[in-house]
Chains A and B, each alone.
Chain A
Amino acid sequence: MRADEEREFVEYVRVRLPRLHRTAYLLCSDAHRADDIVQQTLAALYVSWRKASAADNLDGFVHRILVRRYLDERRRGWSRVLLGEHRSPSASPGADHGIGERDALITALRALPNGQRTVVVLRYFDDLTVEQTAEALGCSTGNVKSQCARGLAALRGVLTPAESLREQS
């Protein structure tokens, strides 16, 4: 990669890294796996930077790589080793309702089937459209819509108390 191209890559990554890491963490629920997924995603991006940076939707392209890295980890079964060690932490609401609610949300998110969790994260954290989400996951827009509806319905029980609390305050 030429020096000017590498500078462009560094500038892009410096801005996007925190959000990509948060996406990976929401998907896999493990800080170390999230690091690995992000590192592999952006290392792959480095190799194809010249081509990728010319794409119409670079962010969408990067999301596709990241999601497929996540799915690849899951397919290898390796992720289950770590998930087995770290998954399903019990919610531990404390005196701070905000922290308790956030714990409840991440616990509820982890409890979702993988398909629903991925769709919900891409749609409502990364703000991908239905079409972009379908492209990233390699499924139909109808599938995205139905997974999204089921995921939202499952999370509603966690969301509602927060709404109530806000209304009360």
Chain B
Amino acid sequence: MNDEQDLRDRFEAIPVPPTRVTVDALVEAGRRRAFRRRSWQAAGGVALATGLLVAVPTMVIGDPAPPPTVVVAPTTSARPTPPKACQDTILRAPAGVTDVAASGVDPSGRYIIGYHSKGQNFLPLLWTDGVPRKLPLVAPSTQLTSVNRNGVVAGLAEGPNFQYAFRYENGRYTRLRTPPGMDWIYPYPTMNSAGDIVINAKPPRASGSHSGVSLLYKAGSSTPITLPLPTNANVYDITDDGTIVGGLQKDGGADSAYAWDRNGRSRKLESVPGRRSMVYSAEGDWATGGLWPEDGDATPALWDLRTGKLTQLRTAEGPGLAVNDDGWVLADNKLVRDGQEAPLPIPPDQEIRALGVSDTGLVVGHAVTSVGNTIVAPHAWQC
């Protein structure tokens, strides 16, 4: 028997955890998606054609019912003041580059990071004042993950059998070192306006429950400071005043959202009984992330870091992944502004992947085809 046939046989024998997906649930999800698509096309068509303010169907903030794992068609709600529509712009791509995506923006809105791709490798792009530029490669896959208002970029370099975090500043890449034996970094480096970077690290072959460390790289430094946090802490972002957000893990998953300072002084952020919580992004006084029921999908959450107060956002599904200093949240590829979804215009038969929001209200991301999920173009929406 040759290797190829042996591999086929062995793939069939790998134990795979049972799926929670059911056919009935899929049909419900499909119906809901079709409903949304029709509603969105109707609403978006008006916005594009006339520039008038429009509202799209959303769920009502403060809905006391727990979110279902498999969603049903959203209900519409009458609103006295429809949210303002956002102005859509397609970002320029460098000459000769296709399949371009935008993945983040600095708080000032001046710098936008993104990529094009070769196979599954990220090739880095940086827009400055709307002008795109291909950055040099530091590894076969060079992924930009955070940019600050000075145009300093943090990212991940990956190649066969290696990965590391880097800082890109003044045209040079600097590799960020990890403590000995802690070569596996996750999830990706994030940075504040000063240029301080945070990430987590653990041994490459460690199990999900293995204790890792959380690292801080002060601006300009490639040597980490190991934060004095609990061994089950994960950090995900750092604000301009040095507040580090993330949470504690339990059984390999999210448990409770926390904010720390660099000396390890902690504040547990408000949660809901029976829900697990985690913060994924923070800016200014705001942090966003998710709340998880014991067995189900996340709903987006917004915390006021001054008070720790929690606001549950019912207008989107999945955790919040980006936030600006006005508390606007990106979750489920939607912009949630003051508790309402702000429509992001998009051509028919395309979907949005919204990934970053600046303090100036600039949302960046890209459009993909509704069928096939192929990247169409990078977008910026001024909201």
A residues engaging B (CB < 8 A)?
1, 6, 9-10, 13-14, 17-18, 21-22, 25-26, 31, 34-36, 38-39, 42-48, 51-52, 64-65, 68-69, 71-72, 74-78, 80-81, 83-90, 98-99, 101-102, 105-106, 113-115, 118, 120-121, 124-125, 127, 137-139, 143, 147, 150, 152, 155-156, 159, 162-163, 166
Q: Which B residues are CB-close (under 8 A) to A84?
A: 186-187, 200, 234
**Dominant SS at the B interface?**
mixed
- Contacts A84-B187, A159-B3 given; indicate if A137 touches B119 (C-beta within 8 A): yes
Quick check: B29 and A43 within 8 Å, CB to CB?
yes
Whether the Cβ atoms of B7 and A51 lie closer than 8 Å is: no
9 chain-A/chain-B pairs, Cβ below 8 angstroms: A39-B21, A46-B33, A47-B370, A68-B373, A76-B321, A85-B208, A86-B252, A88-B205, A124-B8
Docked-complex contact A86 and B208, CB < 8 angstroms: yes
Question: Across the interface, which residues of B come within 8 angstroms of A120, CB to CB?
Answer: 7
B19 and A78 form a contact (CB under 8 A): no
Query: B103 at the A/B interface (Cβ < 8 Å)?
Result: yes
The DSSP consensus for interface residues of chain A is: helix
CB of B52 within 8 A of chain A?
A: no
Given contacts A47-B370, A86-B252, A90-B207, contact A31 B353 (CB under 8 A): no
Find A17's partner among B21, B236, B280 (CB 8 Å cutoff).
Answer: B21
A6 and chain B: residue at smallest CB distance: B27
Q: A26-B11, A75-B103, A139-B119 are in contact. Are A48 and B371 (CB under 8 A)?
A: yes
Given known contacts A10-B27, A13-B26, A39-B21, is B34 in contact with A159 (CB within 8 Å)? no
With contacts A39-B29, A76-B355, A84-B187 taken as known, whether A17 is within 8 angstroms of B19 at the C-beta atoms is: yes
Contacts of A102 on B, CB cut-off 8 Å?
10, 13-15
Q: Which of A25, A46, A87 contacts B17 (CB 8 A)?
A: A25
**Contacting residue for A87 out of B16, B101, B188, B208, CB 8 A:** B208
Q: Is there a chain A Cβ closer than 8 Å to B230's Cβ?
A: no
State the CA gap A18–B23 with chains docked (Å).
Answer: 11
**A152-B33 in contact (CB<8A):** no
The residue that B353 contacts in the complex, of A22, A38, A72, with Cβ under 8 A, is: A72
Whether A125 contacts B8 by the Cβ 8 Å rule is: yes
- Bound Cα distance from A12 to B25, whole angstroms: 15
B294 to chain A, nearest CB (A): 13
Residue of A nearest to B12 (CB): A125
Answer yes or no: B120 CB below 8 A from chain A CBs. Answer: yes
How long is the Cα–Cα vector from A47 to B31 in the complex, in angstroms? 8
Asked if B252 and A85 make an inter-chain contact with CB atoms under 8 angstroms apart, the answer reads yes
CB B258 to nearest CB in A, in angstroms, measures: 16
B204 on interface, CB distance cutoff 8 Å? yes
Q: Which residues of A contact B6 (CB under 8 A)?
A: 159, 162-163
B20 / chain A contacts, CB cutoff of 8 Å: 35
Known: A21-B16, A26-B11, A46-B30. Is A143-B119 also a contact (CB below 8 A)? yes
Does B223 make an interface contact (CB < 8 A)? no
B372–A68 contact, CB under 8 A? yes
Contact of B336 with A by CB under 8 A: no
Chain B minimum-CB-distance residue to A80: B187
Tell whether, in the assembled complex, residue A98 and residue B13 are in contact, meaning their CB atoms are under 8 Å apart. Answer: yes
Q: Are B280 and A81 in contact (CB under 8 A)?
A: yes
Q: How far is the CA of A98 from the CA of B204 in the complex (A)?
A: 25
> Which residues from A are CB-within-8-Å of B208?
85-89
- In the complex, what residues of B have CB within 8 A of residue A86's CB? 208, 252
A39 and B25 contacting across the interface, CB-CB below 8 Å:
yes
- B280 neighbours in A (Cβ, 8 Å): 81
Q: A35-B20, A150-B160 are in contact. List 8 more A-B contacts (CB 8 A).
A: A1-B34, A17-B23, A25-B17, A42-B30, A44-B371, A71-B120, A87-B186, A143-B119
Q: Tell me the nearest residue of chain B to A114, going by C-beta.
A: B120
Is B101 within 8 A of A113, CB to CB? no
Q: Which residue of B lies closest to A120 (CB)?
A: B7
Report A128 CB to chain B, min CB distance, Å: 12
* Inter-chain contacts of A65 with B (CB < 8 A): 371-373
In angstroms, how far is the closest chain B Cβ from the Cβ of A63? 11
Hey, which chain A residues are within 8 Å of B374, CB to CB?
68, 138
Q: A159 touching B7 by the CB < 8 A rule?
A: yes
Given A34-B19, A120-B7 in contact, is the A80-B371 Cβ separation under 8 Å?
no
Measured between beta carbons, the chain B residues less than 8 angstroms from A80 are 186-188
